[in-house]
């Protein structure tokens, strides 16, 4: 490749950068959104079109191959490879040669969003060898987002794929999912869960031991009252769940803020006295090491188990296996809704509302609000699914947020139970459906004849203002053994966690 060719390529890229920089943005970190067809305008100003993309991609590939074989300061090719990928993707939907109009798919299913680059806020940096001086000027980020998975699915069909099989445990509701794919599914199969209903116990904990309402809503999640009450509830749960316990938070900031609060107020010490705490790291590099330490602690002879604090939609909630003793209980500390002010979330909801509003689709497509709620439910279901990993597995699920009590949210829970999900009493009392209502057997996970019910002994109770909890797993006044209560039977490994504190 000649030096003259490199200079021409650099000029093309500078024109593209100039076209993006010329877009006026509102003040602050706000961005602007344009139709999907706009993506071709800045590329056209840089003379990148469907006719010239082949030569440009070939030049980029030659430079990447050349730099990859050299050692030095300016040999990072990640940016050039990303640019090549973007050009390839954008012009995969290029209008037919000779046509002056852009296909409707790019206009309807894609959006262009341009916003300030905040990844290097306040820092001067030199990005590559072509930037001779360091610059503190904030650049702009051009995003090209597709909001319809049907675009890719239809392209697969056009490529001649003969059979397509989609499987997952969190596709429900299947009808809306299939409609989003925009291809026919002649065969649809929905199976019940492989476990029996006595192998899982799911309960909603709307309030903590002190009676405070548990909520991860934006205006309450960081309040002292919510964080304190959630910490006390976790201490109670940690006492009675044997072996491994998973605790999922809606996001990393909520996890970090909760830990900071509990460490400053002695709650973390109480938790660690019951089970060693392991925290999901943000970085991928140390994640395997932390997971290995957690597994080893749970499997250690005479271990009290361990608690793993993780994030919904994080590395631990999707794909990892917490079978058997690695996960006998899971706590979900809130509904992990997507960030409402994120431009991608806003545009996705607008796109779905537009699709639903079109004639003939209003009764089939999800609305933007329905999709928003569904994303939280699917994230919860993925987190819950970490503890039931095979036919003979069992575990308990605690949903610690008062918003789980709504009928819409309960209906989204993946419970293999015919009975409604019970709403538990306060976290200091018995874990069962409150009066009035049918007598619930309380929390117990069964494998064969062995049971480990959640005892109420040793729980964290406030000094006054709360009735004494039941002495066994039965509702107050309903124990067949009389006022003294029946004897509780615990599974191996649970004894240490039900002793009086």
pLDDT 10s digits, 271-310 = 999 999 999 998 877 888 999 999 999 999 988 999 999 9
CATH homologous superfamily for 197-497?
P-loop containing nucleotide triphosphate hydrolases (3.40.50.300)
Crossing angle (nearest 10°) for helices 252-264 and 267-274? 100
Highest mean pLDDT among 59-73, 93-107, 145-159, 428-442: 145-159
Domain ranges of the chain: 3-94+103-117+139-146, 148-191, 197-497
Q: Report the alpha-carbon angle 145-149-152, nearest 5.
A: 95
| Predicted pLDDT of residue 482 | 47
The model's pTM is 0.75
Q: Which tokens go with 49?
A: 């079109």
Look at 199-203, 226-230, 267-271 and tell me which has the smallest mean pLDDT: 199-203
What is the fold of 3-94+103-117+139-146? Fumarase C; Chain B, domain 1 (1.10.275)
> CB–CB of 233/332 below 8 Å?
no
The reply to whether omega before 258 is within 30° of 0 (cis) is no
| Predicted pLDDT of residue 104 | 61
What does the DSSP 8-state code read for residue 300?
S
The radius of gyration of the chain's CA atoms, rounded to the nearest angstrom, is 28
Residue of 97, 125, 72, 333 lying closest to 226 (CA atoms): 333
Question: Can you tell me the distance from the alpha carbon of 279 to that of 273, in angstroms, rounded to the nearest whole number?
Answer: 16
pLDDT tens digits for range 113-153: 999 988 765 555 544 554 544 455 678 999 999 999 988 89
Collapse the DSSP code of 232 into the 3-class scheme (helix H, G, I; strand E, B; otherwise coil) and give the result.
Answer: helix
Q: What is the pLDDT confidence band of residue 469, given thresholds at 50, 70 and 90? A: very low
């Amino acid at each position: 490749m000649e030096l003259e060719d490199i200079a021409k390529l650099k000029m093309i890229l500078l024109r593209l950068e100039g076209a993006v920089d010329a877009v006026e943005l509102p003040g602050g970190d706000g961005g602007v959104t344009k139709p999907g067809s706009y993506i071709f305008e800045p590329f056209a100003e840089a003379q990148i079109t469907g006719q010239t993309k082949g030569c440009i991609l070939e030049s980029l590939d030659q430079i990447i191959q050349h730099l990859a074989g050299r050692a030095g300061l300016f040999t990072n090719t990640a940016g050039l490879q990303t640019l090549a990928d973007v050009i390839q993707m954008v012009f995969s939907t290029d209008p037919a040669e000779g046509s002056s109009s852009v296909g409707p798919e790019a206009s309807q299913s894609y959006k262009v969003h341009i916003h300030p680059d905040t990844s290097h806020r306040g820092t001067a940096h030199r990005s590559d060898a072509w930037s001779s001086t360091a610059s503190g000027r904030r650049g702009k980020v051009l995003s090209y987002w597709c909001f319809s998975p049907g675009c890719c699915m239809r392209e697969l069909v056009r490529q001649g794929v003969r059979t397509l099989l989609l499987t997952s445990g969190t596709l429900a509701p299947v009808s809306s999912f299939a409609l989003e794919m925009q291809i026919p599914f002649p065969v649809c199969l929905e199976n019940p869960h492989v476990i029996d209903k006595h192998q899982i116990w799911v309960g909603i904990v709307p309030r903590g031991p002190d009676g405070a309402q548990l909520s991860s809503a934006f205006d309450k999640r960081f309040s002292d009252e919510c964080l304190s009450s959630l910490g006390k509830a976790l201490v109670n749960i940690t006492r009675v769940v044997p072996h491994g316990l998973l605790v999922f938070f809606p996001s990393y900031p909520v996890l970090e803020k909760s830990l900071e609060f509990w460490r400053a107020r002695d709650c973390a010490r109480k938790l660690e006295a019951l089970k060693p705490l392991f925290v999901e790291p943000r970085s991928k590099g140390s994640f395997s090491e932390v997971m290995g330490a957690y597994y080893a602690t749970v499997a250690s002879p005479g271990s009290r188990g361990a608690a793993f604090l993780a994030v919904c939609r994080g590395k631990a909630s999707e794909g990892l296996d917490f079978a058997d003793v690695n996960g006998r209980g899971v706590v979900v500390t809130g509904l992990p809704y997507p960030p409402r002010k994120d431009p991608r979330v806003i545009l996705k909801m607008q796109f779905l509302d537009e699709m639903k509003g079109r004639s003939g689709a209003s009764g089939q497509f999800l609305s933007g609000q329905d999709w928003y709620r569904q994303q939280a439910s699917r994230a919860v279901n993925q987190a819950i699914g970490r503890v039931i990993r095979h036919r003979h597995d069992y575990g308990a699920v605690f949903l610690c947020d008062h918003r789980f009590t709504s009928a819409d949210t309960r209906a989204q829970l993946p419970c293999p139970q015919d009975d409604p999900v019970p709403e538990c009493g306060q976290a200091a009392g018995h874990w069962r459906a409150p009066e009035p209502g049918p007598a619930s057997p309380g929390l117990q996970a069964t494998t064969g004849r062995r049971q480990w019910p959640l005892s109420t002994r040793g729980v964290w109770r406030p000094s006054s203002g709360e009735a004494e909890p039941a002495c066994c797993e039965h509702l107050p006044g309903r124990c067949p053994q009389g006022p003294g209560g029946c004897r509780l039977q615990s599974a191996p490994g649970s004894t240490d966690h039900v002793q009086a504190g």
